[in-house]
Copies of this chain bind each other. A is one copy, B any other.
Amino acid sequence: MKIGLIGLGRIGKLYAEILLKNFDEIEVCAFSPRLQKRFYDLTHISRFKFFSSWNSFIGDHSIIGYIIAAPSTTHYEYIKKLIKFGKPIFCEKPLDLSLKRIDKIHELTKDSGFPITIGFNRRFDPDIRQLKKEIQTGTIGTPHIVKITSRDPAPPSIEFLRSSGGLFLDMVIHDFDMARFLLDEEPISIYSEAEVLIDQEIGKIGDFDTAISTLKFPKGTMVVIDNSRRSVYGYDQRIEVFGSKGMITTKNQRDHSVIKYDHKGSHMTPLKDFFIERYYQSYVNEMTEFLKICQGDKGQIVTVNDARQATKIALAAMKSIKNQRQNLIQ
């Protein structure tokens, strides 16, 4: 079985690696022989095929699904091209930075009858799946307060940030999606505050590096998200859901569990500090689900509408900062 891969940057390579390492029956195909040598260090390179032309790549009948990992500005065009072939598409987040174009994609895909799924990978994390399961089985009763902490180990380059859409569309969007996913509802309003506390260069391009957002959901559940672009102690990813019958929380992960005790106290190793390392299993699970879909089975899907809603929330957050007031999400 072949999967077509579009986009051969860091994320494209990650998907290739995960498919080749974890799914023996899968061949990964791309169409850019020029980039072929960049992939030589993949351990399973023998199952990575390069087509010499876009047309042969896109027309190959044995390809059962496509992964779009190219720059987000190109997603719309690729989806438009691929959709007529009627094959499942996995599109990396952000689907697009423009809500208008996301709406177009939504329009384009909503009646297509075949699945398109978006790369909000955290939904596939074992801890978060367990969290959702607990919420759904009523372990904590009605959720009252959800707290999401999401802090990167270090800010990306200014170059990356410039075209990223900014803190909310690039980073917090994951947490907005998390809130919707966990509560299975749409938020009705948001209030955000943001600051430049880490690097003044980030401020100069009109972006922020630190933020707190509060969302309100229809039944009164409040979600508060705190974000930072630089957590010196590692990648800090925690969720806490407080409800009428109790609370559930997730913890951060470390490379090993060794604790040292000395005259100064007791010491643990820092948190995992790279998103791929922290969420590796999520990526594997995500691909497992996508391959199910490619084979005609039911798999866990993240819809275009999910991407659209998360984008709407991010845009509302940015407007809220400007207006210093709560913003309705419509």
Binding site for B on A (CB under 8 A): 20-25, 43-47, 126-127, 130-131, 134, 139-140, 142, 144-145, 147, 149, 151, 189, 191, 193, 195-198, 210, 212, 214, 216, 220-222, 224, 226, 228, 230-234, 236, 242, 244-251, 253, 255-271, 323-326
Other CB < 8 Å A-B pairs besides A196-B220, A261-B270, A323-B325, 11 of them?
A: A131-B258, A134-B258, A197-B220, A198-B244, A232-B263, A233-B261, A245-B262, A250-B256, A261-B271, A264-B267, A265-B268
Would you call A222 and B245 a contact (CB within 8 A)? no
- A-B contacts, 18 listed (Cβ < 8 Å): A21-B22, A24-B45, A25-B46, A130-B258, A193-B216, A232-B245, A233-B261, A233-B263, A233-B266, A249-B258, A249-B259, A250-B258, A261-B270, A265-B269, A267-B267, A267-B268, A324-B325, A325-B325
Q: How distant is the Cα of A244 from the Cα of B145 in the complex, in angstroms?
A: 27
Q: How distant is the Cα of A127 from the Cα of B258 in the complex, in angstroms?
A: 6
Q: How distant is the Cα of A24 from the Cα of B139 in the complex, in angstroms?
A: 43
Residues of chain B within 8 A (CB-CB) of A127 are 256-258
Q: How distant is the Cα of A45 from the Cα of B232 in the complex, in angstroms?
A: 44
Q: How distant is the Cα of A257 from the Cα of B236 in the complex, in angstroms?
A: 14
Whether A257 contacts B253 in the complex (CB less than 8 A), given A214-B214, A246-B233, comes out as yes
Residues of chain B within 8 A (CB-CB) of A259 are 248-249, 251
Shortest distance between the CB of A266 and any CB in chain B (Å): 5
Residues of chain B within 8 A (CB-CB) of A253 are 257
Q: How distant is the Cα of A138 from the Cα of B257 in the complex, in angstroms?
A: 18
Of A230, A270, A323, most buried by chain B (CB within 10 Å of CB) is A270
Would you call B255 and A263 a contact (CB within 8 A)? no
